Amino acid sequence: MKYSPPKRLFELEESATLKASEKANEMISKGIKVYKLDVGEPDFSTPKKIIDAAYQAMLNGLTHYAPSAGIPQLRRAIGEVYGVDQSYVIATPGSKQAIFYALYSILNPGDEVIILNPAWPSYKQVVKLAGGNPVEVNTDEGFYPNVDSIKKRISERTRAIIVNSPNNPTGAVYSDSVVKELSDLALQHNIFVISDEIYEKLVYEDSFVSFSKYIKYEEGLILINGFSKSYAMTGWRLGFAVADPSIIKQMAKIQGHTATSPATFVQAAAVTALKECKDDVEAMVKEFSERRKIVIEMLDKKGISYVKPKGAFYFFINLRRFIKDQDPAEYLLEKANVSVTSGAAFGESYSGYIRISYATSRENIINGMNSIFKAIGV
């Protein structure tokens, strides 16, 4: 039978970030040396305490189906962090899945969702997958949202705005006043705020402000978070959402008919992550902070301008001055054997930019950056 995908998949694009890193992996498999500054995942191993807890959970029989919203111990532990009871919490296989369930639970076909560019590419695709229309609004030059630009794009069909601080790809950390302004705007217009706070613990300057400070779950906040970035647990696939119980109920319904739940022993191990791994997280954040300093020093020494990231583990840099006729990520893979992510993946206006991830060894960062400098002639 000749297969043709259904209409709703025509517009869905592949994950640009994964695609770029696949190309580099292909070169590596051919024996070519490539400095990988592309992937957004910690190079650290998951803390041993978490691995032990998962093993123990398996030995204790936590190898069966779990309730569709997650095991009560984990939902309670997450609830404690956010000051809510477990009915406000769902555990999901990765925060990506939580974002999808959230959108699927609130969108009618054709509803609009505001996305602040440059933005993590999956937001736009997942909005489409959930039947909505993404409305992309660029942030200002410092990568902070401009409330007036957002206001202009709010329509009768606007159902939600997705915010992400600390931000992928820019590293921007929204100040208290930005969080308040955006929250007020959403409350005024009665739109949901989906706040992706997955990089919450990775902040090196200023402090993280959660949208939960200014919007209640009952007022339309859907908070997304996960274990991938803070606890070096990308492969475990565990995220969660905190939202009004009426929304959590719908999300659990979708999960019940699809993933069922995240792996039961993974959920048990995550309780240990939340309760016993403060020191491990601090050590990882300290190392990220040192690596960030290395990148800053190297860029400054060469006089390359950039907006200083305050959180996450990325730099988003405009290279238009140096690379004129080619996508800079393609150029750097060819000419410098460095794999970075093309800015175009995060929004059309950012085609001359690259995203560098410093979630990799200092040696790799230093060698990769030097190779970039050589290729752009600085």
Structure tokens at 80: 């404690």
**Distance of alpha carbon 9 from alpha carbon 197, whole angstroms:** 28
Residue from 111, 196, 197, 200 binding ligand PLP (CB under 6 A): 196
What is the closest distance, in whole angstroms, from the C-beta atom of residue 375 to ligand PLP in the complex?
26
Name the packing angle between helices 95-106 and 122-129 (round to 10°): 40
Q: What values do phi and psi take at 126, rounded to 5?
A: -70, -35
Q: Are 37 and 357 in contact (CB under 8 A)?
A: yes
Cα–Cα distances in angstroms (integers) from residue 354 to residues 68, 148, 228, 323, 346, in the given order: 39, 27, 23, 11, 10
Binding positions for ligand PLP, 13-42, rule CB under 6 A: 40
Give the total of residues touching ligand PLP (CB under 6 A): 13
Binding positions for ligand PLP, 235-294, rule CB under 6 A: 239
Helices (H) and strands (E) in the chain, counts: 12, 12
At position 256, the amino acid (one-letter code) is G
170 touches ligand PLP (CB under 6 A): no
How many residues are listed for the chain in this entry?
378
**Distance of alpha carbon 89 from alpha carbon 261, whole angstroms:** 13
Residue from 95, 139, 267, 337 binding ligand PLP (CB under 6 A): 95
Q: Pattern of binders to ligand PLP over 209-228, x per CB under 6 A?
A: -----------------x-x
What is the closest distance, in whole angstroms, from the C-beta atom of residue 322 to ligand PLP in the complex?
26
Residue from 35, 88, 100, 120 binding ligand PLP (CB under 6 A): 120
Kind plus residue range of the DSSP H or E element containing 115 = strand 112-117
What is the closest distance, in whole angstroms, from the C-beta atom of residue 26 to ligand PLP in the complex?
21
Could you tell me which residues are beta bridge partners of residue 160? 113, 192
User: Residue number with the shortest CB distance to ligand PLP?
Assistant: 94
Residue from 47, 94, 220, 262 binding ligand PLP (CB under 6 A): 94
337 touches ligand PLP (CB under 6 A): no
Nearer to ligand PLP, 232 or 336 (CB): 232
- List residues near ligand PLP by CB under 6 A: 40, 94-96, 120, 164, 168, 196, 198, 226, 228, 234, 239
